[in-house]
Amino acid sequence: MKKVFYLLLLLPFMFACSESSDEDEMVPEVNEEYIAAKNYYNNTLKSVITTNCVSCHEGYHSRSNGSNYGELTNAINSATTMYNQVNSGNMPKDGDKLSQTDIAKFEEFKNLVDAIE
Ligand code: HEC
């Protein structure tokens, strides 16, 4: 009977530990630079990606077989490639080159990601 009591005591802690958001999982250290990149992504870059990229880059079933850049972790891991692709006009595939304003957003995000670690 005592054992059950101790188990019940532990329950709330077990739940507390299992709560974590998907997007933070791959990034081991959450530092100031990471938070800056995350905020920039959410507030500025994500809408550009949603409008111009996600139709093809939406995960395992995407046309490119690439990552879903609509998710922060993937965007962080691909920050440099994404910038290179939009800056060269290679992406969006078969579409018009992005405006300089939008390309600059990819560049800024790449710089913020480079600053992490
Ligand atoms: C019309 C579909 C389409 C759109 C829209 C599109 N892509 Fe792609 N993308 C592809 C395909 C297909 C590939 C695979 C390589 C190729 O065929 O050129 C690719 C490749 C890439 C790659 C190389 C890594 C990989 O996943 O294979 C990057 C980085 C990339 N795209 C970024 C972007 C970004 C950023 C945008 C939005 C600005 C975008 N793409 C919009 C279809 C698309």
Q: How far is the CA of 93 from the centre of ligand 1 (A)?
A: 6
Domain membership of residue 52 (yes or no) is yes
Given this model, what pLDDT does residue 22 score? 53
**pTM, two decimal places:** 0.78
Interior CA angle at 72 toward 68 and 74, to 5°? 45
96 lines ligand 1 (CB under 6 A): no
Q: What is the pLDDT of residues 23-49, one digit of tens each?
A: 555 555 579 999 999 999 999 999 999
Domain membership of residue 16 (yes or no) is no
Domain with 70, as residue range(s), is 21-114
Task: Report the candidate in 73, 78, 53, 71 with the shortest Cα–Cα distance to residue 63.
Answer: 53
Domain membership of residue 1 (yes or no) is no
- Of 50, 57, 69, 98, the residue with max ligand 1 atoms within 8 A of its CB, to mutate for a pocket test, comes to 57
State which ligand 1 atom lies nearest to the alpha carbon of 66.
26
